Structure formats: structure tokens, C-alpha cells
Structure 1
Amino acid sequence: MIEFEFGTEDLAHTRFALSPLWEVMASVRVLKGVDEQGLHRPWVERVRPRIAAADVDFSPLFDLVPVPTRSPWSGCVPGFVCPPPATPLPSLRVELAMVRATPPAMLRTTGRVPAARLAALRADPARELGRLTDVIEAYWELALAPYWARVLTLLEDDIRYRAVRLVEGGTQHLFADLDPQITWAGGSLRLEHRSVHGPRRLDGRGLLLMPSAFVWPRVFSTMTDDAPQPALRYPPRGIGTLWHARPTTVSEALAGVVGRSRATLLAELAAPASTTDLARRTGLTPGGVSQHLTALRTAGLVSAHRMGRQVLYARTRAGETVVEAAGSGG
């Protein structure tokens, strides 16, 4: 068991943040087989063929994400490839800039990363880190960008819930239901761990709390002397519903505002889809679907992501919000 000892300054500096780059790393673990209960199977079944068909060598990224061989508690992701975010929600571009600026002395890990990969990084950091970030961007467009609005909504909902818990009952109430592996007692946060034990002083840095869609059922902790702030990455509330099929009932209220065809397309985009898929499912002509999607994209309700020769459309955060509000009558 790891025990994080909190002082007054630590409580003052504890904060929440989200990290697109961390979701990249955690999702790669899932693609490589760390999903025993199949929680992310719907996502894996859609994404794995895209990754396989892409004309991209993903080894610079995949080599840095070890697959546990003994238990889900083993397999460390190198800290230099997922630095703790300095702001509540940095863009992927900002996080990749941090990776490209990694000092050579930080290019190390205790995980099972191929020796040749680390040697290449250390031999020419500028070139290899640039190559790595290019690969991460390609992976993001294929695997996460079409689903990011849904993932981000789940993560932000968890943070809002935690904020209410903090207001209602203070720190103890905040941590009480963070995760079954986490308990709060006597000014310390205790995390069950099979291989690491003992107290860990935060030394006034506080703790960075990061809900993450792809870590369940684990909780990841980052606790090193040179880290600007220790981090705890935990599964958000409602993670079991992330990939559930959502109703495609068209809201009459939304149809009255944007028109029935566009409301239908927004409803159908509960999961990313191509123009051909949408035309087949809605009975609209491909040309009509394309025109409506262009209008929705111009309004910021839909985004487009190229997958080789195919383009997938997905609801943006604004699109998710509009559909949810119309469905609830709010």
C-alpha cells in the first residue's frame, strides 16, 4: 500500500486536470490487450482495423507502452512521454511540445522498453522525439479524435461531481468514493498496490488528480523526486457506460431548430460514421448527407476525421451538448 502524506500546503495545491496525451498512452495499453473485462471492446473493434490499415509505423509510440506480463500492476509508461499537465486541460499540441522539449537526462524509464528504442532517443533526441510526436498525432487522428467529445464529457462530468463533493464535505468527502482502491484516513491518502509500499511525502507539491477513461480497473500513480507534482490517474464515474449505444430517437425540439434531417444526423452520430453509413441508415441521399454535414460542421456541431480514403464524422462537444439538452428538454 502506498500512503500519500498530506500537509497543509499539499491540500492547498491539490488540483484536477485532464490530459489528451495520457489518454493516448493509456489507450495504447488497451489496444495491446490490457482490457481483460472487455470494457473498451466496442472502441477496440473499430480502431484496431484502422491502425492496422494505416500507412504509419507506430512502433516509436507502441514500444514506449509496455504490456504487463505478470499482473495489471506491472508495466510502466515512461514519465517523459506523459508529463503532468500544467493547466486543467492542455491541448494535445501543447503537450507534444513539452515532449519535444524533454531534456536528454529525462529520457529514461523503469518499464520494459526495448533497449534499441531508448538508445535511439538518447543518440538523437531532437530527431527521435520529433518522430515520436508525429506518430502520436497520427494515432490521435485515427484512434481518439473521433471519440474525444464523448470521452471528454465523461471526464469533465467526473470533475464537476468531485467539486460538489469537496464543497459539501471537504477533502475527506472528496476522496471517499474516488475509487475502491483509495481510502482517506488521518490526513493520508492510501492506495492499494501489490508491489510498492510505504509512505510518500508530497513536500508541499500537493496531488494532481486525473480522471482517465482508459485506466480502469487500475489506478496509476506517478511519484518521483523530480516530478513537479505527483499524479493519481483514476477511472471516472460512469466509465461502464462510455461505449454504450445511445438512443437515436430524433428530438422534436432539435428538429424544430435545425431541421429534421440535420437533427437525425446528429442523433445518428452517437458514434463516428461516414457519409455512406449515414445515408444508408437514414435514407437520405449521400449528396444530401454531405450538404447537411457541411452545415453542421460549419456550426461547430460536427467534426471530420480522415481515415485513409474514408472520412468519419463525429459530434463535437457542442454537438453532444445540443443533443443532450434537446433530449432532456433543458
Structure 2
Amino acid sequence: MLQIEFTAEDVARTRFAVSPLWEVVASVRVLKGADEQGLHRRWADQVRPRLAAAKLDLAPLSALVQVPTYGIPGFLVPPPTTPQPSLDVELAALRTTPYELLRTSSDAAQAGVEALRADPERGLGRLADTIAAYWDVAIAPHWPRIRTLLEGDILHRATLLAEGGARRLFDDLDPQLAWNSGTLNLEHRFVRGERTLDGRGLLLCPSAFIWPRIFSTIGFDPWQPTLRYPPRGVGTLWHPRAAAPSTALAAVLGRSRTLLLTQLTAPATTTDLAARTGLTAGGVSQHLTAMRAAGLVTAHRTGRLVLYARTSVGEALLTAGD
């Protein structure tokens, strides 16, 4: 049992954030076999052939994300300093990681860390470039859906905190957590004993790719103590959600564009969408081009394929139109 002691200042400084960089690393764990329950099988089955087609060399990243292992090098995923940093911001910080922070407690990742220490500037640059390329293929097409899930969970937790304070927040957060008289008890598989937050508070980060685990970074300077936990509804993240096009939305966008937007439950090509909807490939391309200009869809190239995905604006329109 890990016992995390809170002072009044720690409660006052507790906050939430979303980390795109962490989602990259956690998703690599899934692809390497950490998803024993198959929660992300739909996603993995789509992403693996796309990664193969893109011919990405993931070695710099893969060497640091070993499965099975009890930890991930802290410098690879430092806690975000703002609530919703972009991946570019997090990668800029990664590229400038101080030499003394290039360390790990994971024996399996030690070789990858030593390679970085041999030439930090070149190694960190290559690592950041690898993460950016992986993001474009594996995460970016799905990011609006993932981000909506994570942000929705944060909103729910903030409401609980406002209604019932820290006890209400933590008692609802995860079955592995329990709040008791200023102490947060975490059923940790590898860490035991008491930890203090030293007035820095606790950073809470929902993560789509870690269920059923909680990852903790407590007591490692210079980072704020952090808990990464599975959000509510993560079990439905990859379930198909296509439905009949909204009549109200169709009156604004047109039936064909509304139908295409509805069908984008997962990233798809123009050929895929033409087969599903009965529209011509040329017509699909024209509608997607218009919706992309309006910020409703994005396009991501994977090898010879261009995958289209809904943006957060497109997701919001469909939800409002239900």
C-alpha cells in the first residue's frame, strides 16, 4: 500500500491535466502487449498495418518503453505544466531535457537511456522526431475522440470536487484509491510506504491507454507528484458509434456531408467512405475537402493512404445534433 500524505497546501495545489506525450508512450505499451484484456484491440488492429505501411523506425522510443516493466523513465513523460499542452510543446521540453535527468529505474530501458546519454542533443532530437511521426500515424487521427473522453472525465471530477471536496473526488476516482483523514491510499503493486507531497500538490492525469492500472510519480524531483488513472467510459472508447444522420444537422450541412461525418467513427479513406455510404469517390472527396476547410475533419497521410477523421468541432456538432 502506498500512502500519500496531504497538507492543506497540497489539496489547494491539486490540479488536472491532459498529456498527449503520455498517451503516445502508453499506447506504445499497448502495441507491445500491455493490453491483456483487449480493451484497445480495435485501435491496435487499425494502427499496426498503418505503422507498417509508413515504415517508421520506432527503435528510439520502443527501447525506452519496455513490456512487462513496472516503470517508464520519468524524463520521457514529465508532468505537463499546463492543463492542455500540445504535443509540440511537450516535445520541445523533451528535446531540452537536462543531462542529469536522463536516468531510469527500469533495467529493461537502461540501454535506451545510455544511448541518449552518449549524445543527448542528437538522441533527444531523434526521439522527439520519432514520437512526432508515430503521433501522426497512430494517435492524431483518433485524438479528437480520445481528448473528448479525457476532458469529459476532468469536468466530471471537477464537479465532484466542488460538491464534496477531496474525499468525494478520490473515492470516486478509482477502486484502487481511498481517501482517509488527509491520506490517499493507493493499492500499488510495486511501491510501499508513506510519501509526502511537500506542498506541491498532486497532478491528476486521465489516460486512455492504461486501464486497469494507475501510474504514479511521487517523490521524484523536479516533477510535481502525479497520478495517471483510467477515465470513466474508457471501455466504450473504440466502440462504433455511427447512427442515423441527424435531420437537424443535415438541414444545415446537407445530407451527404452529415452522413459522412456520422460515418467517421474511426479514421477512414475516401474509398472506405464511398463504399459505406453509396456516394461516389469523387463526391466524397469534394465533401471532405469542404468539411476540412470548415474545421470539421482532418486528413492524415499514412504511406499512400490519406485517412480522414472528425475534429473535436465535428464531434461536438454530432453530439449537439443527437
TM interval, short-chain normalised: over 0.9
Alignment map for 1:111-190 (pairs within 5 Å) = 111-190=106-185
Residue identity opposite 1:92 in structure 2: L
- Partner Cα separation in structure 1 for residue 235 and residue 195 of structure 2: 31
In the TM superposition, residue 224 of structure 1 has moved relative to its aligned partner by: 3.0
List structure 1 segments (4+ residues) > 6 angstroms apart after TM superposition. none
The reply to whether residue 278 of structure 1 matches residue 273 of structure 2 is: yes
Q: What's the counterpart of residue 58 of structure 1?
A: 58
- Residue 45 of structure 1 is matched in structure 2 by 45
- For 1:195, what is the secondary structure of its paired residue? coil
Contact 2:76–2:94 (CA<8 Å) still a contact in 1?
Answer: yes
The one-letter code of the counterpart of 1:15 is R
Q: Does 1:191 align with 2:183?
A: no
| Whole-Å separation in 2 of the counterparts to 1:207 and 1:154 | 21
Given candidates 270, 286, 289, the residue that maps to 1:291 is 286
CA distance in structure 2 between the aligned counterparts of 1:168 and 1:52, rounded to whole angstroms: 48
Map of 2:245 onto structure 1 = 250
Q: For 1:165 and 1:28, how far apart are their aligned partners in 2?
A: 32
Identity of aligned residues (%): 64
User: How many residues are paired up?
Assistant: 322
Q: Which amino acid aligns with 2:215?
A: F
Residue identity in the other structure for 2:63: D
Moved more, 193-202 or 222-231: 222-231
Q: Does residue 6 of structure 2 align to residue 6 of structure 1?
A: yes
**Amino acid aligned to 2:20:** P
Deviation of 1:55 after TM superposition, in Å, equals 2.1
> Structure 2: how far apart are the matches of 1:253 and 1:215?
37
Deviations 1:138-158 (A, max 9, x none): 100111000000000000110
1:10-49 correspondence runs (5 A): 10-49=10-49
- Alpha-carbon distance, 1:51 to partner: 1.6
Partner amino acid for 2:35?
D
Partner amino acid, structure 1, of 2:54: A
Question: What CA deviation, in whole Å up to 9, does each residue of 1:234-269 have, x standing for no partner?
Answer: 000011110111033111111100000000000000
Q: What is the CA deviation profile of residues 157-209 of structure 1, one whole-angstrom value per residue up to 9, with x for unaligned ones?
A: 10010111011111111111100000000101110012211110000000000
Give unmatched runs, 5+ long, in structure 1. 69-73
Match status 1:239 vs 2:234: yes
With normalisation by structure 2, the TM-score equals: 0.98
For 1:256 and 1:194, the matched residues in 2 are separated by: 54
Deviations 1:126-147 (A, max 9, x none): 0010000000001001110000
Letter aligned with residue 29 of structure 1? R
Name the amino acid aligned to 2:277.
Answer: T
In the TM superposition, residue 31 of structure 1 has moved relative to its aligned partner by 0.4
* Offset, 1:306: 0.4
SS, match of residue 38 in structure 2: coil
SS of the equivalent of 1:30 reads helix
| Deviation, structure 1 residue 114 | 4.7
Q: In 2, distance between residues paired with 1:224 and 1:5? A: 12
**Aligned-residue offset at 1:49:** 1.3
Secondary structure at the aligned position of 1:218 is classed as coil
User: Residue type of the partner of 1:167?
Assistant: A
Q: Give TM-score, length-normalised by structure 1.
A: 0.96
Task: Answer whether contact 2:142 2:309 (CA < 8 A) is retained.
Answer: yes
For structure 2, the 5+ residue unaligned runs are none
Q: 8 Å contact 2:6–2:196 — kept in the other structure? A: yes
User: Aligned pair 1:204/2:199, yes or no?
Assistant: yes
Partner of 1:311: 306
- Partner Cα distance (1:183, 1:3) in 2: 10
Contact 2:31 2:44 in 1 (8 A): yes
Output the amino acid matched with 2:51: I
Q: What letter corresponds to residue 149 of structure 2 in structure 1?
A: L
Q: Secondary structure at the match of 2:173?
A: coil
Aligned counterparts of 1:88 and 1:210: Cα–Cα separation in 2: 9
Q: Does structure 2 retain, via aligned residues, the 8 Å contact 1:21–1:92?
A: yes
